[in-house]
Structure 1
């Protein structure tokens, strides 16, 4: 039984059709709905998006343009609070404008006397020290702070945020379910079920200007294909760049059918859960994109990470793992050996990491639970 309705504005990197960030939004919306139902509270989200029409159509929620600050202010004014997150919002590696924007959105809510919640963010890197006092000032006024890894928490502590005010939680996507129409219908569509070849899902992106990591991956996969037949399934998480990076590797590899293998591309994604389903069909994931690795863990698919950013290392550490290499240093022979080792021990990997993954999935609901409880106690 619903006892009240609460409107919450959600700020993040939404509407850009980046599969990982859209998965974060889908996961937050799902968790808020589930926790709201459990508490007898109807949560009405309003999403700040670069493409409000698309976001509204995709998720069935109200959305306003994230760059129309008049609309943003009105939405926050009419709400019961603001969520900032998840994802890597507070970092200046991609642009010096990112941190000021997201802090400004939180500050608007605080000026309007609305509670503000930091939802499973990955904080950093923050290379420009001028941002530290800005983050400290805004975060100290937040009603709840959660970050997705210990390192983000330590960075906030170094800026002057008390450790007791910081909650370490998993990435929200650890709790995202498969599409509702799965089970028998979707089992019939399983990629790995169509053939005897092991399916390796591959998520890559452009990062190193000289493409050293992509060249190394191409060399390693070519060597692997010579040694055993595999189905290499490229999974572009961000269009069109990731598909171009994938095609770059495929072009370098050439035809592997003479070795009994095959290469394919997944291009049918309509929403984040589609990609999650595609990952679930793979036997092994080789990923640069953080959320390719999180999707794999979500579905208990063995994974190998290649680091281009500390967030990759931080997530893998939660699984007592480490990247096989980085965008600056990746040895093809090492990657080939590791791929073969993993292919020969898939069930052992699943058994070894089962308890960790179960705990991460359960804990991924903590921010939504806390926020719903907070809103439920406000009259």
Structure 2
């Protein structure tokens, strides 16, 4: 008997030119392929995307439009299961429509009798109590529930799910490898003779731009005191490119020759290579910090959301400051400390990072085992 082929629909925030969410998708696809090969199952992914043609072309997968009901229904009806995740899908901070959409996809799959797997999601914040029951009801019928931090598990328990139903795993992007052909500077190699590079991933958040002003002031101080250059890494196009330009303008003409941009980088593994090539990373985007950690690059976080603090906590770290209280001096001090102590940071964090990278594949391993078990029982 040949290897079974399982069509599996993947639901998430895909096709929006957000490098972090695209990295989640790439990581899930690679993990499914690897774990399927290990356990004798071939997965045929069908990705729900707002730009299905672009998603299909980028990742070599089948894709359906996430907002067209008949396409959704046909994709899920013809599938062997649904993966919901990862990322921060179930939260109502950005919109009250987000949770109903993703729970609706899960409920449709369940109504059609398809097994549903929650893949390393970050749950919350959930401000509207009515959503507690929606999430609890849908999750109780899922075959696997994995979340990316203890805070998400605690929130699900407050919603009424038992702790035994929920498994905490790392963000899937921790397990994403570089492209095999990628060329990047290995930590401790060329950087000993080249001037250090500070990777910067910023986004708009405060209306008065105080968080970006603080980042610019901190970078000015670091560039005053060292020969470091700055490379901006925009994760969500075009908004993050505009935020990067805002910071660059505030650095002024004096440092113009020491500033560069990674423009138009859309494939997550290309952005991972960018993050791998810097000496230290200053990040507001969660996945910029995860990219850096996955390549053993020291990072400084500016927190605009609890998910930033939750990830840094896993590395026994704290954000330099929050967007509620931007602190240029704290950012500069943290950058300077890591620039001077990069190798010590790597030595200290290597073991925990390696464990996180290994554990990031656990949901895919569990999903492959589910289908492999069904094959052996026939």
Same fold (TM over 0.5): yes
Query: Aligned partners of 1:186 and 1:225: how far apart in 2?
Result: 23
Query: Aligned partners of 2:164 and 2:224: how far apart in 1?
Result: 53
Give the CA deviation at 1:211. 1.1
The runs of 5 or more residues in structure 2 that have no matched partner are none
In the other structure, the counterpart of 2:288 is 292
In the other structure, the counterpart of 2:169 is 169
In the other structure, the counterpart of 1:255 is 253
Query: Aligned partners of 2:202 and 2:129: how far apart in 1?
Result: 31
Give the CA deviation at 1:202. 0.3
In the other structure, the counterpart of 1:110 is 110
Give the CA deviation at 1:210. 1.2
Query: Aligned partners of 1:135 and 1:249: how far apart in 2?
Result: 39
In the other structure, the counterpart of 1:245 is 243
User: Which aligned pairs between 1:1-379 and structure 2 lie closer than 5 A?
Assistant: 3-182=3-182, 186=184, 196-257=194-255, 262-378=258-374
Query: Aligned partners of 1:2 and 1:302: how far apart in 2?
Result: 46
Give the CA deviation at 1:95. 0.6
The runs of 5 or more residues in structure 1 that have no matched partner are none
CA 1:297/1:211 → structure 2, altered by over 3 Å: closer, same or farther? Answer: same
CA contact (8 A) 1:2 1:42 kept: no
3-state secondary structure, aligned to 1:223: helix
Give the CA deviation at 1:230. 1.1
Query: Aligned partners of 1:149 and 1:22: how far apart in 2?
Result: 20
Give the CA deviation at 1:58. 0.4
CA-based RMSD: 1.8
Query: Aligned partners of 1:97 and 1:16: how far apart in 2?
Result: 17
CA contact (8 A) 1:80 1:375 kept: no
3-state secondary structure, aligned to 1:295: helix
CA contact (8 A) 1:225 1:256 kept: no
**Bigger shift: 170-179 or 262-271?**
262-271
Give the CA deviation at 1:24. 0.3
Query: Aligned partners of 2:259 and 2:110: how far apart in 1?
Result: 51
Query: Aligned partners of 2:75 and 2:244: how far apart in 1?
Result: 40
Query: Aligned partners of 2:126 and 2:184: how far apart in 1?
Result: 43
Q: Residues 309-336 of structure 1: CA distance to partner in whole angstroms, max 9, x if unpaired?
A: 0000000000000101000112211221
TM-score, reference length from structure 2: 0.96
Give aligned pairs, total: 374
Q: Residues 220-279 of structure 1: CA distance to partner in whole angstroms, max 9, x if unpaired?
A: 111111111211110000011101111111111102349xx7111111414110000000
Runs of 4+ in 1 over 4 A off after TM superposition: 185-188, 191-195
Give the CA deviation at 1:86. 0.3
Give the CA deviation at 1:34. 0.2
**Bigger shift: 109-118 or 330-339?**
330-339
Query: Aligned partners of 1:160 and 1:225: how far apart in 2?
Result: 51
3-state secondary structure, aligned to 1:368: helix
Give the CA deviation at 1:338. 1.5
CA contact (8 A) 1:313 1:322 kept: yes
Query: Aligned partners of 2:35 and 2:282: how far apart in 1?
Result: 33
CA contact (8 A) 1:201 1:232 kept: yes
